Amino acid sequence: MRKLVEKEIVVATHNAGKVREINELLAPYGLIAKSAAEHGLPEPEENGTTFEENALTKAKAAMLATGLPALSDDSGLVVDALDGQPGVYTADWAEKEDGSGRDFSMAMQKVEDALLAKGATLPEQRTGRFVATLCLIWPDSHVEYFRGEAEGQLIWPPRGELGFGYDPVFLPNGHERTFGEMTSEEKHGWDGTPEDEGLSHRTRAFALFARQCLSK
Ligand code: IMP
């Protein structure tokens, strides 16, 4: 397992919610971390069928364009009653039909409609998880992956204005509030130490990354 000794990396995502959360997680480590958007990079097309493939596509594009180590995040919502959908297509479910961007209210409604079509009305029929795969690629193409998952239930109607994406319909196990009702510190649920695993999928993947590659 390789340590990250470089002082500057590129955060290979254009998703503002992910950039904010990853920067919060990176803050204690004193790295310079600009996003792909801040570097003016185009958003690569993601046509993989796994979180790992898409994470590699994004990290590799950013590393090749900047010459810096690149950290990407590919993530999504995996719903058991929907045979794992939307999964790697979680962002696609939010694409507006006229191609003018993403609408997560519509995307959450699609998930709800699909659950109702399956007759999934009881909490135990509405289980799922958020998955995040972080990929770190160095300029010599060495790659490491870190995967985190957060188990929970899909609730309806959506609750909370915090967070991003599908946060308002995701109730993590053992909690009374959705990710959309949690501050980012609560959603991370991480004290920043290697012993603690954190709450959100992204934080759990990040904790693995920090444990293996970073030192304070
Ligand atoms: P991708 O990784 O760019 O394919 O997009 C993943 C999609 O999953 C995002 O557009 C979000 O809608 C959703 N997603 C990933 N992580 C989270 C999260 O922490 N909260 C809510 N939605 C998320």
Domains and CATH numbers, the chain: 8-213 (3.90.950.10)
* pLDDT tens, the chain, 216 aa long: 899 999 999 999 999 999 999 999 999 999 999 999 999 999 999 999 999 999 999 999 999 999 999 999 999 999 999 999 999 999 999 999 999 999 999 999 999 999 999 999 999 999 999 999 999 999 999 999 999 999 999 999 999 999 999 999 999 999 999 999 999 999 999 998 878 999 999 999 999 999 999 987
- Distance between CA 202 and CA 188 in Å, rounded? 8
Measured from the CB, is residue 90 less than 6 Å from ligand 1? Answer: yes
Pick the closest to residue 111 from 161, 169, 193, 197 (CA basis): 169
Q: How far is CA 102 from the centre of its chain?
A: 16
Per residue in 178-196, pLDDT (tens digit) is 999 999 999 999 998 878 9
164 touches ligand 1 (CB under 6 Å): yes
Ligand 1: which of 11, 14, 18, 109 to mutate, most ligand atoms within 8 Å of CB?
18
Q: Which residues contact 92 (CB under 8 A, 6 or more apart)?
A: 86
Atom of ligand 1 nearest to the CA of 54: 4
Residues identified as active-site? 74
The 10s digit of each residue's pLDDT in 101-134 is 999 999 999 999 999 999 999 999 999 999 999 9
pLDDT at 192: 83
Ligand 1 neighbour 150 (Cβ under 6 A): no
The preferred substitution site among 166, 190, 203 for testing ligand 1, maximizing ligand atoms within 8 Å of CB, is 166
* Ligand 1 and 163: CB distance under 6 A: yes
User: What's the gap in Å between 40 CA and the centre of ligand 1?
Assistant: 21
- Residue closest via CA to ligand 1's atom 23 equals 165
Pocket test of ligand 1: the residue of 11, 13, 15 to mutate, having most ligand atoms within 8 Å of its CB, is 15
